[in-house]
Structure 1
Amino acid sequence: MLIGTLFALAAGLMWGLVFVGPLLLADYPAVMLSFGRYLAFGLIALPLAWWDRAALRTLTRADWLEALKLALVGNIIYYLCLSSAIQRAGAPLPTMIIGTLPVVIALVSNRRNAARDGTLPWRRLAPSLGLIALGIGLVNQAEWQALRADPQADLGRYALGAALALAAVVCWTWYPIRNADWLRAHAERSPRTWATAQGIATLPLALLGFALTWLVFALTDAPWVMPLGPRPGAYVGLMLAIGLLASWLGTLCWNEASQRLPTNIAGQLIVFETLSALAYAFVLRGEWPGLPTAAGIALLIAGVWWALRVDPEPAAADAHPN
C-alpha cells in the first residue's frame, strides 16, 4: 500500500507538468501541443523498446490493440481536450474539474471491480469523497469569483473550456480503469514494458495527427509556421520534457501503483496530479493561493489520507438457486 501510494505520488508530480505546457506555449494551438507531446513520447519509447524488445515480443495482438485504444483515448484525445480547456479557461478551473477524477473513478470502480478488488463500504468511503468534493468546490468558487471580477473575461470562452475539461474527465475515467484491468490481469508483466508499449502504440497516431494538422494548415493558409511554430526551441524542448517525464515516466509510475492498489483507491490518488498542477500554476502566476484555495487543497489532502485508511471488504458471492 505504501509503495503503491508513493508511485502514485510520483506519477502525480510528473503529470502536473502537462497543465503547465499550454500556459508556457499559449500561442500554440492545442493540436500542436497534443500531437507534439505524444510524438515526443513515441520517439522516446523507441530506444526503450529496443532495450525491452524481448518482453515486448511476448505481447499478443490483443495486447497491442488494447495499448492502441489506451493511447488514443487516454493520451491523445485526453490531452487535446485538456490543453484546449486550459487555453480557454486558464489552468485552475480545468485543473479542479480534472480534480473530480478521484470521486468519479471511485464511484465507477467501486461497483465495476468489486469482485476483483473488493468493495469499499460507502459509509466509510463517504467522508473521504465528501472532503475531496468540498475541497474541489472551494477552489472552484475562488476561481469563479476571480473570473466574475474581471471585466475583460469571456464567459463563453470559459464555459467552452469547462466543457472540454469535462470531456477530458470522461477520457481519463475510462483510461485508468481499463489500464488497471490489463495490469491486474497480467501481473507477471512489467509495468515498464506496458508503459513502453503504450508509447510505441502512440507514435503512429501522433505522426498521423501531426501530418493531418500540417495538411489542414497548408490548405487553409493558416498563419502558422510548420512544423515547429514560431518558437521551435521552446516547443521542442518542452515537448521532449513532457514526453519523457509526464508521458513515459509518469505512466511507468502509475502502472506500478495500479498493480499494487485497488482501482477504487488508486483512482482517488489521482488527486496528487491536481495538487501538483495547482502548485505549478500558482508558481507561474507568482502568487500564493488565497485562503479558500488553500483550504480546498488542505481538504483534498485530508480526503486522500482518509481514503487510504479504508480497507476493501471482499465482495459477497452471488446467490444461485441451484
Structure 2
Amino acid sequence: MMITGIFFALGAGLLWGMIFVGPLLVPDYPGVLQSAGRYVSFGLIALPMAWYDRHRLKRLQRQDWLEAVKLSLVGNLIYYTCLSSSIQRTGAPISTMIIGTLPVLLAVSANVAYGRDEGKLPWGRLSPALLLIATGLVCVNAAELRQNVQPFDLWRYLSGIALALIAVVCWTWYPLRNARWLRRHACHKPTTWATAQGLATLPLAAVAYGVICLAMGFTHQAFPLPFGPRPMVFVPLMIAIGLLCSWLGAFCWNEASQRLPTVLVGPLIVFETLAGLTYTFLLRQAWPPLLSLTGIACLIIGVAYAVSIKPEQVEKIVSL
C-alpha cells in the first residue's frame, strides 16, 4: 500500500511539473488569465466525469462541497495565479526552487498540526535538511542572476519572489487540508473528490476569467480578447494543463494522500520540483550550470534526509 502511494505521488509530481513551463510557452499572457483559463478548462473537463460519477457525488454533504470550494480557491486559483506570475517575473528555476521548499515546510506543518496523531519528526534532525534546502535556493538564485542578460529590474524580481512565497503558503495549506479530508472520508474515492474540486472550481474560474477580460479590455486594449494573440497555442495549452495537471494530477495526489501518512506525503512533493526543473532546462535545450546543479543536489539531499527521519510517536497522557 505504501509503495503504491509513493508511485502515485511520483505520477502527480511528473504531471504537476508541467505547470512550470506553461507560463514560459505563453509569456505574453498575464498570469491571472492563464490561471483562470487553466481552471475553466479543469471545470469543463470535470463535467462529463461528474455525470459518470454522479451517484458518488450525491453522497457528498454540504460541508464537503464548501470544503471543495475552499480548496479550489486557495489551492487552485490563488496558487497558480501567484506561481505563473512569479515565473514570468523571475524565471522558472527560481520559482521552482522556492516551491521546492514545500517538502520540508509541509513536513514541519504536518509535524505541528498532526504529529500527535501520526508521529512527530525530531526538530533537531530536521535542521540539517532546512539548511541544505536554504543553500540550494541561494545557489539557484545566484546562478539565474548571473545568467540574466536582460536589464535587471529589482522591483520585478522582488515582486516575483513575493508571489512565489504566497504560492508556497497556499500550497502548504492545500495538501495538508486535502490529505486530512481524504483520510477522514476514506469511503469516498479519490477520483470523486478530484471531480468535485473541478466542479467547485468552474464557477469561480469562469467569473474570474470574465472579470479579467473586462478589466483587460480597459487597460490592455491592444490585447485581443477573450483568447489573446495566440489562441491556437493558448487554448490547447490550457486544455492540456487542465486535464493532465489539474484533474489527473489531483487524482494521483489524492490516491497518494489516502495511502500515506500526512508527514510523509509532504516531502514527496519534491517530485514536482524536480520535474519542473527538468522540463525547464529541456525547454531551454541547455544543461544546468554547475551552481544550479549544486543547488538541485542540495535540495535532493535535504529532502531525502528529511524523508529518512523516522517519526517518533508522542505518548498521550490519559487522565484518570
In structure 2, C-alpha distance between the alignment counterparts of 1:314 and 1:187, rounded to whole Å: 23
Counterpart position of 1:41: 42
User: Partners in 2 of 1:233 and 1:175 — Cα distance?
Assistant: 32
Aligned residue for 2:85? 84
State the Cα deviation string for residues 132-191 of structure 1 (Å, max 9, x = none).
3433333233223334xx461212211111111111111111111111110111122111
Mapped pair 1:185 → 2:184 = yes
Structure 2 gap segments, 5+ residues each: none
Q: Which residue of 1 aligns with 2:277?
A: 278
Q: What is residue 222 of structure 2 aligned with on the other side?
A: 223
1:269 partner letter: L
1:115 and 2:109 aligned: no
Structure 2 vs 1, CA of residues 307 and 3 (structure 1 numbering), >3 Å: closer, same or farther? farther
Quote the Cα distance in structure 2 between the aligned partners of 1:269 and 1:141.
Answer: 26
Equivalent residue number for residue 69 of structure 1: 70
Distance 1:197 1:259 in 2: 16
For residues 79-120 of structure 1, the C-alpha deviation after alignment (integer angstroms, 9 at most, x for no partner) is 011111111111111111111111211111101101322112
Q: 1:306 to 1:43 in 2, by over 3 A?
A: same
Alignment map for 1:164-175 (pairs within 5 Å): 164-175=163-174
Q: What amino acid sits opposite 2:23 in the alignment?
A: P
SS in 2 for 1:113: helix
Rate the CA distance shift 1:319–1:162 in 2: closer, same or farther, 3 A.
same
Q: Is contact 1:265–1:307 with CA below 8 Å preserved after alignment? A: no
Q: Which moved more, 1:83-92 or 1:131-140?
A: 131-140
Task: Report the counterpart of residue 244 of structure 1 in structure 2.
Answer: 243
8 Å contact 1:118–1:312 — kept in the other structure?
yes
- 2:307 alignment counterpart: 308
CA distance in 1 between partners of 2:307 and 2:72 (Å): 29
**Contact preservation (8 Å) 2:104, 2:306:** no
Is 2:43–2:202's contact at 8 Å kept on the other side of the alignment? yes
Matched AA of 1:270:
I
Partners of 1:47 and 1:273 in 2: how far apart? 28
Letter of the 1:206 counterpart: A
Is this contact kept in 2: 1:282–1:288, CA < 8 A? yes
Shift of residue 217 of structure 1? 2.5
Q: Which runs of 5+ in 1 are unaligned?
A: none
The answer as to whether partners of 2:92 and 2:280 remain within 8 angstroms in 1 is: yes
Counterpart-to-counterpart distance in 2, 1:221 and 1:86 = 21
Q: Equivalent residue of 1:269, what SS?
A: helix
Q: Does the 8 Å contact 2:20/2:87 carry over to 1?
A: yes
55 and 161 in structure 1: CA distance in 2 versus 1, 3 angstrom threshold: same
TM-score by length of 2: 0.94
Cα 1:144–1:106 change in 2 (3 A) is farther
Q: Secondary structure at the match of 2:296?
A: helix
**Alignment partners' CA distance in 2, 1:100 and 1:211:** 34
Would the aligned equivalents of 2:267 and 2:307 in 1 still touch at CA under 8 Å? Answer: no
> CA, structure 1 residues 220+137, in 2 after alignment: closer, same or farther (shift >3 Å)?
closer
Q: Is the 8 A contact 1:265 1:308 kept in 2?
A: yes
Q: CA deviation at 1:220?
A: 4.2
Question: Partner of 1:218: helix, strand, or coil?
Answer: helix
Residue 70 of structure 2 aligns to a residue in which SS? helix
In structure 2, distance between residues paired with 1:313 and 1:3: 24
Q: Structure 1 stretch 70-79 or stretch 263-272: which is displaced more?
A: 263-272
> What is aligned with 1:6?
7
Question: 1:21 and 1:115 mapped to 2: Cα distance?
Answer: 39
Corresponding residue for residue 208 of structure 1 = 207
CA distance in structure 2 between the partners assigned to 1:134 and 1:7 by the alignment: 29
| 2:100–2:299 CA contact under 8 A, matched in 1 | no
Q: 1:29 corresponds to which letter in structure 2?
A: P
Rounded to whole Å, the distance in 2 between the matches of 1:18 and 1:292 is 24
1:269-321 CA-to-partner distances (Å, cap 9, x unmatched) read 1111111111111111111001122122223333333333333232220454x
> Which contiguous aligned blocks of 4+ residues in structure 1 show a shift greater than 6 angstroms?
none
- Code of the residue aligned with 1:300 in structure 2: it is L
Farther-moved stretch of structure 1 (300-309 vs 245-254): 300-309
RMSD of the TM alignment (CA)? 1.7
% identity of equivalent residues: 58
Partner of residue 194, structure 2: 195
3-state SS of 2:266 partner: helix
Indicate if the aligned counterparts of 1:8 and 1:269 stay in contact, CA closer than 8 A.
yes
